[in-house]
């Protein structure tokens, strides 16, 4: 491993978490089970995602709000931190090597960015043809990125907040029961103006949502005006 790789501790110290008053969100929305959502988060603001009932995967993408050809890169994020899991201190990197956001708080402790989003095609291959018409994260992403003049070619490998995907010793990904409890949250500090796009995952064929998709809450805080 190169000596230029920044450790989690260094990243965390560099992006110290601003103090926020949980009662002073400037934006609040509950994303119903199975539904998509998107919103601009301005530089310096914090996006909080709350897993209201626990064990709910929240598939998430980030784009530069001023140039959506720059977007979240799972590969660069993993390479930069030298590890596959997302948690406090993780710098969310773009395909151009810039920091889009930083995870500054995390009451869950484990999020995936390796397993991608569920799709009708993948469901069919994994679970059988009868799942072909079940709603999937890819459909949610398509609906939501269209609101920002993007198409399916703009959907890239994402973060799965609150999804537990341990990498086994033989290198395989395992999708197992989530470790998030009701009320667990993750805070992302925007390092530049970003578009956050979420699919509140509708998957019911594996344990990523406890076989029961549930609502999640998103809040935006602005420490500059709190
Ligand atoms: Zn999904």
Provide the residues around ligand 1 (an ion) whose CB is within 5 A: 118, 137, 201, 203
- Going from the Cα of 2 to the center of ligand 1, the distance in angstroms, rounded, reads 34
Contacts of 143 (CB under 8 A, 6+ apart): 36
Domain assignment present for 208: yes
Number of domains in the chain: 1
pLDDT at residue 7 in the model: 42
Centre of ligand 1 to C-alpha 6, Å, is 31
Q: pLDDT at position 111, please?
A: 96
Query: For 131, how many CA atoms within 13 A lie in the half-sphere containing its CB?
Result: 17
Residue 213 lies in a domain: yes
Assigned domain for 27 exists: no
Task: Copy the structure tokens of residue 211.
Answer: 């076989």
Q: Give the global pTM.
A: 0.90
Domain-located, residue 26? no
Q: Is residue 22 part of a domain?
A: no
pLDDT tens per residue across all 226 residues of the chain = 443 433 444 444 456 678 788 889 999 999 999 999 999 999 999 999 999 999 999 999 999 999 999 999 999 999 999 999 999 999 999 999 999 999 999 999 989 999 999 988 888 888 888 888 888 999 999 999 999 999 999 999 999 999 999 899 998 888 788 889 999 999 999 999 999 999 999 988 887 888 899 999 999 999 887 6
Task: For residue 149, tell me if it sits in a domain.
Answer: yes
pLDDT at 224: 84
Instruction: Report yes or no on 67 lying in a domain.
Output: yes
Q: What pLDDT score was predicted for residue 216?
A: 97
Report if residue 23 sits inside a domain: no
Residue with tokens 């209201």: 52
Q: Quick check: 192 and 98 in contact, CB under 8 A?
A: yes
Ligand 1 centre and the CA of 199: distance in Å?
Answer: 7
What is the domain extent for residue 152? 35-221
How far, in Å, is the centroid of ligand 1 from the Cα of 201? 4
Q: Of 35, 59, 63, 34, which Cα lies nearest the Cα of 49?
A: 59
């Amino acid at each position: 491993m190169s000596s230029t790789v920044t450790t989690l501790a260094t990243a965390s110290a560099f992006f110290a978490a601003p103090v926020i008053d949980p009662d002073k969100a400037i934006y609040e929305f509950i994303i119903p089970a199975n539904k998509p959502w998107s919103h601009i988060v301005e530089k310096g603001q914090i996006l909080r995602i709350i897993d209201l009932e626990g064990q709910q995967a929240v598939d998430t993408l980030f784009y530069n709000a001023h140039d959506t050809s720059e977007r979240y890169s799972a590969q660069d994020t993993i390479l930069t931190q030298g590890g596959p899991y997302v948690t406090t201190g993780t710098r969310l990197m773009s395909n151009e090597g810039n920091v889009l956001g930083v995870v500054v708080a995390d009451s869950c402790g484990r999020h995936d960015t390796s397993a991608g989003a569920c799709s009708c095609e993948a469901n069919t291959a994994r679970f059988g043809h009868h799942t072909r018409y079940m709603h999937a994260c890819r459909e949610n992403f398509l609906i939501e990125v269209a609101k920002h003049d993007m198409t399916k070619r703009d959907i890239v490998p994402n973060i799965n907040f609150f999804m537990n995907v341990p990498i086994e010793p033989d290198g395989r990904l395992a999708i197992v029961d989530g470790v998030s409890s009701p009320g667990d949250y993750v805070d992302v500090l925007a390092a530049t103006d970003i578009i956050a796009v979420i699919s509140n995952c509708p998957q019911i064929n594996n344990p990523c949502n406890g076989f029961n998709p549930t609502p999640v809450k998103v809040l935006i805080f602005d420490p500059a005006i709190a």
